[in-house]
Structure formats: structure tokens, C-alpha cells
Structure 1
Amino acid sequence: MKPAGVVRKVDQLGRIVLPKSLRKRYLMNEGDPVEIFVQGDHIILERYRPKCVFCGSMNEVRDFKDRYLCGACIEEMAQLRR
């Protein structure tokens, strides 16, 4: 993990501000979802990327009734109906 060399304080509501340079570098815009992971004593922020609810793939993911499905699982389900 590479340090960014930036220190921010947590405000009274538990928020921090990501510097504009980091948001620009990682293509993060206002309103973009962010996923929070904990690894040991580290807190990791990542841009949220939807995953298929069945196989966990992030390839060709589509929204279907508020769930995410990949193309391969959709095709597999279509074959079950035949």
C-alpha cells in the first residue's frame, strides 16, 4: 500500500474529505459509491464496482430488479429454461 502523503482529520460526524488531487487521479466524482474494507488495522476505500450475485464476476454486469448479474450467469439461466 503506497502512502499518499496526505493527512486529514475526521470531523464530528465521522467524515473525511478526499483531496481533489486523489479524486481526480482515481476518477471519483461527487455521488460515486465507495466501498469500505477492513484489512487488519487498515481501512481501505475503493470505488464501488458491482459484482454478480451468483458468481462474483465484475465482467459484463447488468442491473436486474435491484440485483447485479453477469452475462455468463444470465446465459446460464436462459439455458435452464430451455
Structure 2
Amino acid sequence: MKATGITRKVDELGRIVLPIELRRNLGISIGDALEIFTENDAIILKRYDAVDDLLDMVNRLKDRVVFEDCGKMKPILIDKLAEIEEIIKSGTNETKASK
């Protein structure tokens, strides 16, 4: 973990303000969703990325199909999940290219 030297106080509603320079450096914009993690005594904020969640879900499903007895459906399911993964990835690339 990298120290920033920045401190902020928690207000009466439990909020903190993320400094603009930190948000700019990390690409966090107004309205962006942040995921909250805890590790030991630390709170970790990460920009939420639904695409990463979808890709994780597809990979978990592919792993499950490989280990389950799906009969004749196994190769079809694996192919379809690979197609879904490619669609998600290509949508991400198109979005990045348009920015």
C-alpha cells in the first residue's frame, strides 16, 4: 500500500471527502461507483467495474461446466460461454475506443 500523506475526518454521517487530485490520478469521476473492501484493519476503495464482474461470472460458469456432468451439452455450453466472454470484451474495447 502506498501512503499519500492525506488525512480526512469522518463527518457526522460517516462520510469522507476524496481530494480532487486523488480522484484525478485514479480516474474517479462524479457518480462513479466504488466497491468497499476490508483487509485486516484497512478499508480499501476500488472503482466498481461491472464488466470485470461479468467476466468473473463467465469464468466461474466455465469452470463449473468443466467439472460438472453436463452430458452432450458440455461443449455447447463452453462454446456459448466463450462467445459471451468475447462479446463482453469487445464491448469494453468499443467503449474505450469511443472515449
Q: Structure 1 length as normaliser, TM-score?
A: 0.66
Q: Deviations over 1:51-78 (max 9, x none)?
A: 123426xxxxxxxxxxxxxxx72626xx
User: Which structure dedicates a bigger proportion of its chain to helix?
Assistant: 2
Of 66, 77, 81, the match for 1:73: 81
Identity of aligned residues (%): 46
How much has 1:13 moved relative to structure 2? 0.5
* Structure 2 residues without counterparts, runs of 5 or longer: 61-79, 85-99
Match of 2:27 in 1: 27
Match of 2:59 in 1: 55
* Structure 1 residues without counterparts, runs of 5 or longer: 57-71, 77-82
RMSD across aligned positions (CA): 1.9
Match of 1:66 in 2: none
Q: Structure 2 length as normaliser, TM-score?
A: 0.56
Greater gyration radius = 2
SS of match in other structure, 2:59:
coil
Distance across 2 between alignment mates of 1:16 and 1:55: 35
In the comparison of the two structures, how many residue pairs are matched? 61
Distance across 1 between alignment mates of 2:37 and 2:6: 20
Match of 1:41 in 2: 41
